């Protein structure tokens, strides 16, 4: 991901999140985090942002254009995140996902992630707050 990718990344982010990250938040992360994009026919169709601290990786954000979901793009991005975590000798990849996002939870489980617990009232919604499922994958 580069600064020129940010407008396209933000378009996707706004389509999939109730409280989307801002372009500035993505830009601030470019120097501090692993920021990836998925492209198809020269267009950005997905992205992932990963934070590394010591031997841990945290998947902070991952999304695919809603019109292109269910085509394996999310799995390709997730596999690349796991591969990069292993290359950096991370022992664990952590993430949080909305409890209502069964498709994403299934994707993470298929990749080997296990549920660790819940963060109560973590995500904002139009009707209050929603729990986050905490998940982890041991990679090294």
Residues identified as active-site:
96, 108
Residue 20: CATH number of its domain = 3.40.630.30
DSSP sequence for 44-106: EEEEEEEEEETTEEEEEEEEE-GGGTTSSHHHHHHHHHHHHHHHTT-SEEEEEEETT-HHHHH
Task: Specify the pLDDT at position 82.
Answer: 98
How many domains does one find in the chain?
A: 1
Task: Specify the pLDDT at position 44.
Answer: 98
Q: What is the pLDDT along the chain (140 residues), one digit of tens a residue?
A: 999 999 999 999 999 998 999 999 999 999 999 999 999 999 999 999 999 999 999 999 999 999 999 999 999 999 999 999 999 999 999 999 999 999 999 999 999 999 999 999 999 888 899 999 999 999 97
Task: Specify the pLDDT at position 140.
Answer: 74
Task: Specify the pLDDT at position 139.
Answer: 92
Range of the domain at 52: 3-138
Return d(Cα 82, Cα 91) in angstroms, integer. 10
**137 strand-pairing partners:** 93
């Amino acid at each position: 991901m580069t600064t020129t990718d940010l407008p396209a990344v933000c378009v996707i982010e706004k389509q999939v999140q109730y409280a989307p990250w801002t372009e500035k938040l993505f830009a601030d992360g470019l120097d501090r985090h692993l920021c990836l994009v998925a492209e198809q026919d020269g267009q950005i169709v997905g992205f992932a942002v990963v934070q590394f601290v010591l031997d841990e990786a945290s998947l902070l954000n991952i999304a695919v254009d809603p019109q292109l979901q269910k085509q394996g793009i999310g799995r390709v991005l997730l596999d690349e995140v796991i591969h990069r975590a292993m290359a950096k000798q991370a022992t664990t990849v952590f993430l949080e996902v909305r409890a209502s996002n069964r498709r994403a939870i299934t994707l993470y489980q298929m990749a080997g992630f296990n549920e660790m617990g819940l963060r109560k009232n973590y995500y904002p919604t139009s009707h209050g707050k929603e729990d986050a499922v905490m998940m982890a994958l041991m990679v090294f």
